[in-house]
Amino acid sequence: MADKKKTKIEKGDSKRVPTGIEGFDELCGGGLLRNRTYLLSGAAGCGKTIFGLQYLYNGITKYGENGIYIATEERPDQVRENVGKFGWDFKALEDDGKLAIIDACSTKIGIPSHEKYVDVRPFDLRSMMDQIIAIQDTIDAKRALVDGTTSIGFYLQDPSKIRVELLKLSTTLEVLGLTALMTCEVADDEASSRFGVETFVTEGTIAMYNKRMENVRVRSIEILKMRGSEHSHNIHPYEITSSGILVHPKEEVY
Ligand SMILES: Nc1ncnc2c1ncn2[C@@H]1O[C@H](COP(=O)(O)OP(=O)(O)OP(=O)(O)O)[C@@H](O)[C@H]1O
Ligand SMILES: [Mg+2]
């Protein structure tokens, strides 16, 4: 009987994709469900990009899963420099063919890019998907980060179009065998998405907050939705430390 129980747990765990972010995986049964796309929402500066990049970095360095980073809002050079402060050497991972960064930012703002992978047609999701498919052929990634969906949404404007296009993107990632995070910037803590549709096209929603409490701001994280999985329904504090995000799963924020 005990053996049976053990087997069941192991079987369940093999479908999980641990983020490796300390304290987070225990909020959702060991990690994300494989081949699904999750929305990571939060106001500016709350740590969405760091969370997503740590997920990719841990994937490569702890779990042997290559990653694709689609940067729509920050230039790759700046990102490499920023993550260097956490001790993450992205350049080395790229040189080893374990990480691919798509520069989907420079063309959009009209500046040249010297990156290996450049999305030359701004806001063209079809070309972005073609690029991801081509990269996938080369590096056989298991994880992806689309950072972020907000600029795509502003371009498309119409919520029904945003919904269809993001569904196409998330489904493409899933079909390619990628477990993905898509970031979404929200204007205030009460909203879980910018255009009111993003959360419907993803399998789960993780909300990050940076709430003001008297004269300090307190960072906290909550899993709002995770289809097919049990998860914590509480709001847990997290910190951004010199080695990245650290969640306190046993503590709650009220
Ligand atoms: N090396 C570091 N050590 C500690 N905290 C840091 C470090 N680097 C960044 N931070 C914190 O993380 C914040 C930025 O995080 P991040 O870029 O992930 O936010 P974001 O949610 O993606 O924001 P945006 O919506 O603007 O893209 C900074 O405002 C700062 O408070
Ligand atoms: Mg960001």
Q: Which of 21, 40, 41, 48 to mutate for ligand 1's pocket (most ligand atoms within 8 Å of CB)? A: 48
pLDDT score of 7: 32
Q: Is the pLDDT of residue 209 over 70?
A: yes
Per-residue pLDDT for 1 more than 50? Answer: no
Do the beta carbons of residue 31 and residue 17 sit within 8 Å?
A: yes
pTM of the predicted model as reported, rounded to 2 decimal places: 0.94
Structure tokens at 126: 């079809």
Domains annotated for the chain, with CATH where assigned, are: 21-247 (3.40.50.300)
Question: Which of 72-81, 177-186, 194-203, 214-223 has the lowest average pLDDT?
Answer: 194-203
Q: What is the mean pLDDT of the chain?
A: 91
Residue 10 has pLDDT above 70, yes or no: no
Structure tokens at 67: 């990653």
CA distance 12 to 163: 31
Residue-level pLDDT at 5: 37
Identify the residue with better confidence: 156 or 29. 29
Confidence of residue 69 (pLDDT cuts 50, 70, 90): very high
Pocket test for ligand 1, best of 39, 40, 50 (most atoms within 8 A of CB): 50
CA of 161 from ligand 1 middle (Å) equals 30
